[in-house]
Amino acid sequence: MTPDDSFNRGIPAPFSSRFDFNDLIFEDRVHQSIYTDEAIFREEMRKIFGGVWVYLAHESQIPEKNDYVASKLGLRPIIVVRDLTGRIRALYNRCTHRGATVCRHTQGNAKSFACPYHGWSYFNSGKISGVPWPDGYADDFSDPKYNLAQVPRVQSYRGFIFGTLNPDMPPLEEYLGGVKAPLDDWLDRHPGGTLSFCDANRLKFNGNWKLLYDNSADGYHVIFSHRSLLAMENRFVEKGDEDKGMAYYKSSPDNAPFYVKVFENGHHYKDKRPAVDTSPGGLWSIEGPHPGMEHYEEMIREKLGDKAGAVLDLASSEPVNINIFPNLHILGNHVQVSQPISLTETDTTWWGTAVIDENDDLHGCVDAVNALRMRTQESFPNFGELDDLINFEQIQTGLAGVEDEWVYMHRGLGIPDRIKRDTDGYLIGPPTDEVFLRETMQVYKNLMMNDPNLIIERDIDAVFD
Amino acid sequence: MQHDPSRTSYYVGDDFYQSLVDSYSDWQTDDSEITDPELRDICRRLLEKEARLLEQNRLDDWLTLYVPECVYWVPATPHGGDPRTEIAVCFDDRRRVEDRIFRLKNEFAWSQQPQSRTARLVSNVSAFATGDDNILMVRSTFLTTEFQAGDKRTYTGWYGHKFEFQEGDWKIIVKQVNLIDCDQNLRNLSIIL
Ligand code: FES
Ligand SMILES: [Fe+2]
């Protein structure tokens, strides 16, 4: 990758596992150590966060040339930047000299980055631009080995920027595979097929990152873990009226017309749309109470008449969970990103999204829709997610009883005709089924049993698809 | 038509948002600072009472300090931002703050089982005139310690309260909570700040 092969010829694995994953991951259960063992976590930060395509940022966060946003690839601090020429790069935020971060802000606009420690500076392409008092060096710094390291493969899919250090990964679109279809659907419900980010609800929990991924298509927990939310959303609903929010999980969700679908590479999808009325205005009709709801609804209905329902639906939460392994989740109108901090600490950032309406598809109502949409999006992180996060924390606490080794995920396993395949060959199960978890764990096992050859790039002109 | 803000939300609209953004722009000026010790003491007492009721988990009593058409607002950006175009950590109108209290009282709100205990310091109170004698803006610095799930956490920053004189009493219209780490990932913020 770099012209000088004596440098950066691949990173030897610093840790080799003392575990055989054949002993840890079975069809029906996994061993607690995958959530509690430091060495396994370290390996995950290479083999998964590095070894597969990892979500890094959204293009709407860096709309202009020289815009940048801080991110991480696993534990590696990364600057995602749109360089002087418009190319999106993911630079290691690590000075080539002695390793200090060269950028200390979470976002901004900069043509170059100067290291605060001894003043080495770099263009936002990663190329070194100069060092103080160069006559003290025998080299002239034209060798690319002095450029900032960068993620060799950075690709976007419809605004979502991903990176991998693994030259053997297929191109991003192939990695996404079947999950592109629900992602496309989700984007295409918005004017122009696109969205912008508008700040976030930022949460964290003291637990392993996989606890969140394990939850992402879990329809089994909803009425238990979110019991207080369901009660809250329905506190004014009269007997006989339609229930609000996720009430379609009540009674027997497995007989309800919605499902979980499992794609390749650990991605999966919970489609709750078949359980709700998706004719215009249907989604809006099951929204719980939100600030400004009646005011804006009245305004939009007065202005648009028949067309109001479809517009109000854009302020409503889309009933899908789209999970892209290992760290990206689309749920409702949120783009939720999970970020491992340590073995037992994970950040989860719920980016809000706003509608962009360049062609006035919303007939002058886009600002009203967005004003509503901010409030609908704040609801779940405030009143729902907190109860899940405490359950994840309490799993981490429970797993400290190490002699009690197994974590079960066999709901639906071995029951004839429960799990089907669609015409594309993807597994489909009832919404409370743990089939998504079993399949993800097999993907995980496979990744953990192979050692990818991770590389970095320093040649700023290299292009690697 | 009169609307009950506990049941419907008609008051949170463009005009309301705009007045909120205006109220919280450029208000902490030296010229407008109130020096009258009596008025300052009224502000201080209201803030201390609010802290006490929250410490004691008397959430319904706490809400009586607020006008019916109120806002509890925790911005996610250090400059406060515009809630029409930015997600906030919390943005509760009257109905949502009652939802919040309903949920906190629900024994199945797992993030509050067992219930947090809090100790709340409120200090550095300065009040600012607004041009309307019945409306004051009040800045204070807070340090709230929460004991939850076996450990202690702190929330700190400054409050910007908007007070209104109504029916012989000062009441809270808006409470803006400016956490110093509002743009960072926060662990289980399930209490009212
Ligand atoms: S560490 Fe960056 S210039 Fe020395
Ligand atoms: Fe959940």
Instruction: For residue range A275-328, list pLDDT tens digits in order.
Output: 888 899 999 999 999 999 999 999 999 999 999 999 999 999 999 999 999 999
Task: Measure CB to CB from residue A390 to each of B111, B185, B186 and give the nearest one.
Answer: B111
3-state secondary structure of B146: strand
Contacts made by residues A250-259, CB under 8 angstroms, sequence distance 24+: A250/A223, A253/A219, A253/A222, A253/A430, A253/A431, A253/A432, A254/A430, A254/A431, A254/A432, A254/A433, A256/A431, A258/A431, A259/A428, A259/A429, A259/A430, A259/A431
Task: Choose the mutation target among B174, B185, B190 for the interface with A, i.e. most A CBs under 10 Å.
Answer: B185
Residue A349 is predicted with a pLDDT of 98
Residue A200 is predicted with a pLDDT of 97
Pick the CATH number of A194-448 from 3.40.50.12780, 3.10.180.10, 1.10.150.120, 3.90.380.10: 3.90.380.10
Of all atoms in ligand 1, which is nearest to the CA of residue A102? 2
In angstroms, the CA B177 to CA B179 distance is 6
What share of chain A in percent tops pLDDT 90?
Answer: 87
- Of all residues in chain A, the one with the smallest CA distance to B16 is A292
Local confidence band at A465 (pLDDT 50, 70, 90 cut-offs): confident
A 354-373 residues with CB below 8 A of B? Answer: 354, 367-368, 370-371
Q: Does A2 score more than 70 pLDDT?
A: no
For A25, residues 6+ apart whose C-beta sits below 8 A from its C-beta are A31, A34, A441, A442, A444, A445
Contact A199 B185 (CB under 8 A): no
Burial class (CB in 10 A: 0-12, 13-18, 19+), A32: buried
Compute the distance from residue B188 Cα to the ligand 2 centre, in Å.
14
Compute the distance from residue A347 Cα to the ligand 2 centre, in Å.
16
Chain B partners of A368 at a C-beta cutoff of 8 Å? 14
Q: Whose CA is nearest to atom 1 of ligand 1?
A: A98
Task: Measure CB to CB from residue B111 to each of A198, A348, A386 and give the nearest one.
Answer: A386
Architecture label for domain A48-176+453-465:
3-layer Sandwich (2.102)
Q: What are phi and psi of A284, to 5 degrees?
A: -60, -35
B118 touches B191 (CB < 8 A): yes
> Interface of chain B against chain A, CB under 8 Å?
3, 7-14, 17, 76-77, 81, 83-93, 95-96, 99-100, 102-103, 106, 108-111, 113, 149, 183-190
Instruction: List A2's β-bridge partners, or say none.
Output: none
Worst-scoring range by mean pLDDT, A396-400, B1-5, B52-56, B101-105? B1-5
Residue B81 is predicted with a pLDDT of 87
Does A242 or A425 have the greater pLDDT score?
A425
Where along chain A do its domains lie?
48-176+453-465, 194-448
A254 touches A412 (CB < 8 A): no
Compute the distance from residue A112 Cα to the ligand 1 centre, in Å.
15
In angstroms, the CA B7 to CA A237 distance is 11
Considering only CA atoms, which of A236, A211, A233, A214 is closest in space to residue A223? A233
Q: Per the omega criterion (within 30 degrees of 0), is the bond before A431 cis?
A: no
What share of chain B in percent tops pLDDT 90?
Answer: 96
A 68-127 residues with CB below 8 A of B? Answer: 106
What's the topology of domain B35-179? Nuclear Transport Factor 2; Chain: A, (3.10.450)
Compute the distance from residue A236 Cα to the ligand 2 centre, in Å.
22
Chain A partners of B11 at a C-beta cutoff of 8 Å? 295
Local confidence band at A17 (pLDDT 50, 70, 90 cut-offs): low
Q: Among all ligands shown, which has an atom nearest to the Cα of A95?
A: 1
Q: Does A12 score more than 60 pLDDT?
A: no
Q: Flag whether residue A378 sits within 8 Å of chain B, measured between CB atoms.
A: yes
User: Distance (Å) from the C-alpha of residue B182 to the closest C-alpha of chain A?
Assistant: 9
Torsional sign, CA A433, A439, A445, A451: negative
Of all atoms in ligand 1, which is nearest to the CA of residue A100? 1
Q: Per the omega criterion (within 30 degrees of 0), is the bond before A12 cis?
A: no
How confident is the model over A47-101, as pLDDT tens digits? 999 999 999 999 999 999 999 999 999 999 999 999 999 999 999 999 999 999 9
Q: Does A6 score more than 50 pLDDT?
A: no
Q: Which pairing describes strands A160-164 and A195-205: parallel, antiparallel, or unpaired?
A: unpaired
How confident is the model over A208-225, as pLDDT tens digits? 999 999 999 999 999 999
Q: Does A129 score more than 80 pLDDT?
A: yes
* C-alpha distances out from residue A440 to A174, A324, A449, Å: 17, 11, 14
Q: Which pairing describes strands A88-92 and A29-31: parallel, antiparallel, or unpaired?
A: unpaired
Considering only CA atoms, which of A404, A437, A325, A461 is closest in space to residue A26? A437
Q: DSSP letter at B115?
A: P
Burial class (CB in 10 A: 0-12, 13-18, 19+), A304: middle
- The count of other CB atoms within 10 Å of the CB of residue A9 is 12
Ligand 1 interacting residues, C-beta cut-off 6 A: A 95, 97-100, 115, 117-120
Residue A237 is predicted with a pLDDT of 84
A290 touches A370 (CB < 8 A): no
Rounded to an integer, the average pLDDT of A406-434 is: 95
* C-alpha distances out from residue B7 to A378, B93, B94, Å: 19, 11, 9
**Which DSSP string do the residues of B156-180 spell out, in sequence order?**
EEEEEEEEEEETTEEEEEEEEEEET
Task: Measure CB to CB from residue B76 to each of A199, A204, A348 and give the nearest one.
Answer: A199
Compute the distance from residue A34 Cα to the ligand 2 centre, in Å.
22
Mean pLDDT over all residues of chain B? 96
Local confidence band at B80 (pLDDT 50, 70, 90 cut-offs): confident
Q: Flag whether residue A202 sits within 8 Å of chain B, measured between CB atoms.
A: yes
Where along chain B do its domains lie?
35-179
Q: Whose CA is nearest to atom 4 of ligand 1?
A: A118
Rounded to an integer, the average pLDDT of A253-265 is: 90
Residue A4 is predicted with a pLDDT of 47
